Amino acid sequence: MIRVSIKRDKQKSIVEYRVTGHSGHDEYGKDIVCSAVSTLSQAVIIGLEKVAGIMPRYWIKDGDLHCIIPPLDNKSRREADLLLDTMYHTLISIKQSYPENISISEMEV
């Protein structure tokens, strides 16, 4: 199962996310759930860096992606929220289609 852990600040903005595990939906290389979640979670990092000019700290290893958003000014926070909220809602959509393959937890920090 893929486990997504999301941390939000008091304003409900995502400040950190971690994606671990494999979905087990299909064999390695053919697993559409793993592929979708992996692409989405990495695309957000690319968007933060290349589009919004925000430099998150992140680590990517086999089956583990961890991204920490730095403190941001208001304009950058709005840009980050657009990308991160899109990721969140897409993950929820994937979970609705494949509930046995992905879990999503959230906490306020």
Report pLDDT digits (tens) over 8-22: 999 999 999 999 999
Q: What is the DSSP letter of 27?
A: S
**Which residue ranges make up each domain of the chain?**
2-108
Q: Read off the tokens for 82.
A: 């657009």
Q: Which residues does 24 contact at the CB level (< 8 Å), separation at least 6?
A: 1, 31, 101
What is the dotted CATH code of the domain comprising 2-108?
Answer: 3.30.70.1490
Q: What is the DSSP letter of 69?
A: P
User: Residue 39: how many CB atoms within 10 A of its CB?
Assistant: 10
CA–centroid distance for 82 within its chain: 13
Q: What is the pLDDT of residues 51-101, one digit of tens each?
A: 999 999 999 998 899 999 999 999 999 999 999 999 999 999 999 999 999
∠ CA 44-109-49, nearest 5°, is 20
pTM of the model: 0.94
